[in-house]
Amino acid sequence: DAKTTQPPSMDCAEGRAANLPCNHSTISGNEYVYWYRQIHSQGPQYIIHGLKNNETNEMASLIITEDRKSSTLILPHATLRDTAVYYCIVRETSGGGADGLTFGKGTHLIIQP
């Protein structure tokens, strides 16, 4: 019952922009799109989240399509340290009830030197 679909793996050359796609065609109006990443042998790390507007922070940019059925995480200048599994998650944040973050299989991004 995964709410998101991501490619299992991607390669990107060091210094180039890494564009990671995510499909979430069943997203509902009060669900946000979150991105986390997990570098080998570490706990997951929050990257960015958004509702419908594009978002940017010091780590990445998040582009959400107008119909909100898909999004793209952009790492503008990928480095070797960005090699990790990237998880796209949709999550209701209405403020009520128990809502564990549910992680799918993610995309294993490999940055090539």
Positions that interact with other proteins (CB under 8 A): 32, 34, 36, 38, 42-46, 49, 87, 91, 93-106
Complex with other proteins: residue 95 or 113, whichever CB lies closer: 95
Complex with other proteins: residue 14 or 92, whichever CB lies closer: 92
Per residue, the 3-state secondary structure of 51-111, as one string, reads: CCCCEECCCCEEEECCCCCEEEEEECCCCHHHCEEEEEEEEECCCCCCCCCCCCCCEEEEE
Least Å from the CB of residue 65 to other proteins = 22
Complex with other proteins: residue 3 or 49, whichever CB lies closer: 49
Least Å from the CB of residue 50 to other proteins = 12
Least Å from the CB of residue 107 to other proteins = 12
Q: How far is CA 104 from the centre of its chain?
A: 11
Least Å from the CB of residue 16 to other proteins = 27
Q: Which residues fall within 8 angstroms of residue 19, CB to CB, at 6 or more apart?
A: 72, 73, 74
